Amino acid sequence: MLKRQYIPIVVTAALLAFMFAAGSFRYTGFFSLQVLLNLLIDNAFLLIVAVGMTFVIVSGGIDLSVGSVIALTTMISASLVQQQGWPPAVVIPLVLVLGAAFGWLMGAIIHYFKIQPFIVTLAGMFLARGLCYVISINTITIDHPFYTSMAQTKIKLPGGFFISISVVIALVVVAAAIYLAHYTRFGRNTYALGGSESSALLMGLPVARTKILVYTFSGLCSALAGVVFTFYMLSGYGLHAVGLELDAIAAVVIGGTLLTGGVGYILGTFFGVLIQGVIQTIISFEGTLSSWWTKIVIGLLLLLFIVLQRLLSARRQMQKA
């Protein structure tokens, strides 16, 4: 018998399978492994961001700054590599450290001054987006050989299929996050923190360290997603990844993570990202549908999953009572 806690994740996976099957029946050329792989190629950065966001949401917080941190990362990379001539081997670790530091700072403010995560990360979002424009208000194109080769390299799979390096990075992040969430102390602490902060504190868990680390991890993920996004777009621009935080939150929720914290799976987030990708693919295959349908469908899916979660948790409470 299926455990109740796995129901949302099974629903998500079934929905993904159903959508993919529906697309395959409706459009010729839809049912191929390459279409599935393209989902990963086009959404690698979203996947990485959503993984970091899953940790934050499981811990009971929220991080609105992720899209802006991506933009800032592309901007810093582009200006350092292109205008200052720094080697990518220095720039990439530097932006990763910067992203992590940014997350750490927000986490510290959230924890030590007890300000709502929503507001602090909102300020972080403004700050990162604004700093992009301080660097430059124009697009900076990157033509450094390392970045172009990272963008164009195709890793061949048997059967003539291919993936990009970004996909490998994203899958490694997902695997690492699954290990981190379910097999380490940090992961357990995060779930405990999201379940109830005061209980976690009374149990003697390191609440301060966990909370700050969660935001640091999200910042690191955003910066890594920014690096991947730079490979994808080959440019730095202040308007990159506008509204990506909403896509990431939507993917996490569709993946079955409770926004109240304490419940959720990285694998669910993975499916959530793929569902968003499938919606976009279906809309582009349909041709006559306009892009705004993506937003409406994602909104409806959000509603569906939130109501589903609500029903499940209501039933659990009924059983307890």
Partner 1 sequence: MVKHHLFWPLVMLGALLLFNLLYSPDFFSVQMRAGKLYGSLIDILNFGAPLILVAIGMTLVIATKGIDLSVGSIVAIAGAMACMTLSKGTDQNMLGLVLSAVGIALVLALALGLWNGMLVAAFGIQPIIATLILMVAGRGVAQLITGGQIITVSSSAYKFIGAGSLLTLPFSIFIAGAVLLIAALLTRKTALGLFIESVGCNPEASRLAGIRSRVVMIAVYMFCGLCAGIAGLLLSANVSSADGNNAGLWYELDAILAVVIGGTSLSGGRFYLLGTVVGALIIQTLTTTIYMIGVPPEITLVVKAFVVLLVCLIQSETFRKTLVHRFKTRRYPAEREVKRHA
Among 124, 226, 236, 277, binds partner 1 (CB under 8 A): 124
For residue 39, give the nearest of 239, 243, 285, 254 by alpha carbon.
Answer: 285
**Cα separations (Å) of 171 from 134, 148, 289, 293?**
33, 21, 31, 28
8 Å CB contact between 134 and 104: no
CA nearest neighbour of 230 among 244, 241, 215, 218 = 241
Query: Tokens in use for 65?
Result: 């700054």
Nearer to partner 1, 93 or 299 (CB): 299
Residue from the set 112, 168, 199, 286 that interacts with partner 1 by CB under 8 A: 112
> Taking CB under 8 A as the rule, which mask of x and - marks residues 169-198 in contact with partner 1?
------------------------------
CB of 260 to partner 1, least distance (A): 7
DSSP bridge pairs for 236: 140
Whichever of 33 and 134 has its CB closer to partner 1, that residue is 134
Nearest alpha carbon to residue 121 among 57, 66, 48: 66
Near partner 1 by CB under 8 A: residue from 22, 130, 176, 202: 130
8-state DSSP, 27: S
Q: What angle do CA 137, 138, 144 make, to 5 degrees?
A: 125
Is 137 among the residues that bind partner 1 (CB under 8 A)?
A: yes
Interface stretch with partner 1, choices 95-103, 114-122, 142-150, 157-165 (CB under 8 A)? 114-122
The helix or strand, by DSSP H or E, that contains position 155, with its residue range, turns out to be strand 154-157
The one-letter code for the residue type at 11 is: V
Structure tokens at 104: 């750490």
The smaller minimum CB distance to partner 1, of residues 188 and 295, is found at 295
The answer to whether residue 116 forms part of the interface with partner 1 (CB under 8 A) is yes
* Position among 21, 33, 90, 134 found at the interface with partner 1 (CB under 8 A): 134
Q: Does 208 bind partner 1 (CB under 8 A)?
A: no
Q: How far is the CB of 151 from partner 1 (least distance, A)?
A: 27
Q: Which of residues 212-271 bind partner 1 (CB under 8 A)?
A: 238, 246, 249-250, 253, 259-260
How many whole angstroms separate alpha carbon 29 and alpha carbon 31?
6
Rule CB under 8 A: which residues touch partner 1?
A: 62, 109, 112-116, 118-120, 122-127, 129-134, 137, 238, 246, 249-250, 253, 259-260, 290-296, 298-300, 302-303, 306-307, 310
